[in-house]
Amino acid sequence: MHRMKAGCPGTTTRGSKEGAMRALRWMGAGLVGLVAGILGLVGVILCVTVVLLPLGIPVLFLARKLYGVAAALVLPRAVRHPLGEMGKRGSAMQDDATSKVDKAGKALRGKRRTWYGRKGKTAWQKALDWVTS
């Protein structure tokens, strides 16, 4: 693996453990994909023979699941679990938005205004005026 200087665009500095883990995951994905391919071939051969059709269909489903496992081993976590990663990043944005709403609420506290911007009576005050008049 070729290493470039840190700071160059498009490069990262990764530790040797991370690189070794990535190579191990790719190798595992290759092996699982190979097993899935062989199982798929066996499943197709079993499905061709009508007598063994009930055995061939589950074998094909198993091969399909193994292909999914192989793909999950290769993909990064952000692609496999986009909502989980978004939740981690979104919590900081949520805290920021909450603080902005709190500031706006504190700034408007005690300042009742109608829809056109002038101070007016609340709905309860208008109802009380209507009842008392």
pLDDT tens profile 80-111: 777 776 766 667 777 777 777 777 777 766 66
DSSP states of 11-40:
-----HHHHHHHHHHHHHHHHHHHHHHHHH
* pTM higher than 0.85: no
Tell me the two tokens of residue 66: 């193994």
The whole-number pLDDT of residue 1 equals 46
Burial 53-83 (b: 16+ CB within 10 A, else e): eeebeebbebbeebbeebeebbeeeeeeeee
Distance of CA 23 to the CA centre of its chain: 24
Give the number of other Cβ atoms within 10 Å of residue 18's Cβ: 11
